[in-house]
Every structure is written in structure tokens, then in C-alpha cells.
Amino acid sequence: MKSLKYCFHPSIISRIPSCILSANRRYLATDQNASAKTETNNTTEAQAEIGPSAPELQVNNLTGDHQHVFEIALNRAERRNALGKQLLSQLDATLDSIKDNNAIRCVLFRSMVPNVFCAGADLKERLTMPQEEVGPFVSKIKEIFSKIFGLSVPTIVALDGLALGGGLELALACDIRIAAHTAKLGLTETKLGIIPGAGGTQRLPRLIGVAKAKELIYTGRILDGQQAYEFRLVNEVVKQNAQSDAAYQRSLEIAREIAQQGPLAVRMAKQAINKGSEVDLQTGLDVEEGCYDTVLTSEDRIEGLKAFQEKRKPIYKGV
């Protein structure tokens, strides 16, 4: 099976919304030669171009067993995927382009750079910024990560390496985090005399509890994958493999499971959990009821019942 790879350059960012994931207008797509690829569970992964001239963000609309999974890959090797202006601009445009695409049932974040997910802010670039630009720039990062959190479909992040500062804050904005045992994770901002400014002080306590979050943020401590699992920072820790992509491979398995479920039901479940967890129990139960009402009148619910009765796999449409 083939996978379409889109490589985003600054000159084409303005064109992304009109062509991304379009079956008829593949301006940014290039079919890869199947003989030059490695097949893994019927998902075809193209070899990444890595180096100063490579695109900083690459996306794949996966096919085969992983149909309906959309992959976003960081690819800024020379800066260890540091969050610079160009990378963030491309990520922002990508999120805006896919947010209403009902063909997507799961979004998977990964890195094309071995042993690195994201080293955090691009401090070299930050040093060149006028003081008056720094605050708005950090606010923009927070806004982009909030877009990730606000996606209607489940999001998974594969942590096969370093994820520090803003890199971990990006991961915290995702629904599910899978880490290799060799990963290094931490909110290290206090070591630089600042605090996490892209959601870390808010999302980490909600995930692992206030006391543990304070401990990690106050100390700027870096955890390995197993320690992160023990802190409940990640959903699962896996033993790293020779290809340094064990977390990615496990993330693909989970994404495939999600994509096979009723897409409308999954979206409503995410909405019920996210909204309900921020309010009191009774209000949360009301949120759940509203989300249930949405699926109750859906075509997918009828299809699910028919498939169960006929002992076949359901064919969901997400409506």
C-alpha cells in the first residue's frame, strides 16, 4: 500500500488549506516507489529527508491497515526539532487544514529525527528576538498547542527520544503518550530562569496531580520512559528497538484500534471526557447525556447494531 507524503516549505504554506488531503488536487503529494520502502503492518513509511535543506514538517495520510490515521512528523534535525518560527507556522497551518476533515479518525505525532522528539524552544532563535516579540511568540505556541488539544479526534504522540520544555508541552496537549524506555522527558524551564509557558503548568497537574507536577516543575527534573510511566506522565512505556522507533510502532497499533471504532462515537467520547473533566460531576453527567444524544440518532449507531446482528465488521461513515 502507498502513503502520501506532503513536505511543507514556507513558500507554499498559504496553499495548504486548499490542497491538503485532497484526492483530486495533490499539489504537494509525491507517490513513493513501493520497492524502496519497508512494509510494517501494511503502512508504508517513506525514507525521511534529513538535513538543513529538508522540510521541517512532514505529514502522511496513512493507508492500508492504518487508513484514516493522519501522521504529523517533526523533521528539523539540525536543531533537534526545536520549536522555531518556521516549524510552528507549518504546524499551525496543518492543524487549521485538518480540523474539520471527517476522513481523519486519529492524529499521530512523531519525529523523523532519531532519538529526539522535540528539544523545546529554539533558544538561538529566541535570543535574536526583540523583547517585545517574545511574549506574543510564546502565546502563539500556547495557542497552537491548544489547537492540538482541541482537535475533535484522538491524538497520540510517539516519544522515541528527547522531549523537553515545549516539546513535552506539545506531548501534554495530546490524548495519549507512548514513550520508549530510553526517552528523556521533562519541563526544564526553571533551569533557564523561566516557567513552562505553553500549557505545562496547567496540563501537567491535571494529568499527574498537583503535588507531583510541582515536584517536576520546581526541580526541572528529566525522567526516562519508565520513570515517566511511574509518574503517570505517559500511558505506556515500551522497550526501544534497533530502529529507535518502538514508541512509534506501538502508537501505530493504538491508532489502528481507534480508527476501527465508530468515528462519531469516538469524537463524542472525547468531547464528553474533556468537557466533563473540567466541571462538577452533575454538570459532567449532563455533558455526557448531550454527547450520547448525538450518537443516539446517528447512522453509525444503526450500522453498529446491524453489523453485530449480521456478525460482520461495521462500515462506519461518521454520521
Average pLDDT over residues 273-292: 94
Residue-level pLDDT at 127: 78
pLDDT band at 164 (very low <50, low <70, confident <90, very high): very high
Q: Which of 78, 72, 87 is nearest to 51 (CA)?
A: 78
Over 90: is that where the pLDDT of 26 sits? no
| Total-model pTM | 0.82
Question: Where does residue 282 rank: exposed (0-12), middle (13-18), buried (19+ CB within 10 A)?
Answer: exposed
Over 90: is that where the pLDDT of 4 sits? no
Residue-level pLDDT at 137: 86
> Could you tell me whether strands 184-186 and 162-164 are parallel, antiparallel, or unpaired per DSSP bridges?
parallel
Domain 263-310 CATH class label: mainly alpha
Residues of the chain with CATH 1.10.12.10: 263-310
Domain 4-259 CATH class label: alpha beta
Residue-level pLDDT at 284: 95
Residue-level pLDDT at 217: 97
**135 is written with which cell numbers?**
511574549
Tell me 279's DSSP state: S
Per-position DSSP letters for 24-73, written without gaps between them: S--TTEEPPPGGGSEEETTEEEPPPP-STTS-SEEEEE--GGGTTEEEEE
CA distances from residue 144 to 63, 89, 304 in whole angstroms, order as listed? 27, 9, 35
CA 294/CA 221 separation, integer angstroms: 43
Phi, psi of 220 (to 5 degrees): 65, 25
Residue-level pLDDT at 54: 57
Q: Determine contact, residues 228/234, Cβ cutoff 8 Å.
A: yes
pLDDT band at 18 (very low <50, low <70, confident <90, very high): very low
What is the percentage of the chain residues whose pLDDT exceeds 90? Answer: 63
Q: Which of 20, 42, 39 is nearest to 29 (CA)?
A: 20
Q: What does pLDDT average to over the chain?
A: 84
Over 90: is that where the pLDDT of 132 sits? no
Residue type, 250: R
Q: Which of 50, 49, 35 is nearest to 80 (CA)?
A: 50
Residue-level pLDDT at 36: 34
Residue-level pLDDT at 134: 85
Matching residue, cell 459532567: 284
Residues of the chain with CATH 3.90.226.10: 4-259
**177 is written with which cell numbers?**
503518550
Per the model's pLDDT, the better-predicted residue between 312 and 231 turns out to be 231
Q: What is the pLDDT of residues 90-115, one digit of tens each?
A: 999 999 999 999 999 999 999 999 99
Residue-level pLDDT at 37: 37
The alpha-helical segments, DSSP class H, found in 38-165 are 85-98, 123-127, 131-150
Beta partners for residue 127, in sequence order? none
Residues noted as catalytic: 121, 166, 169, 189
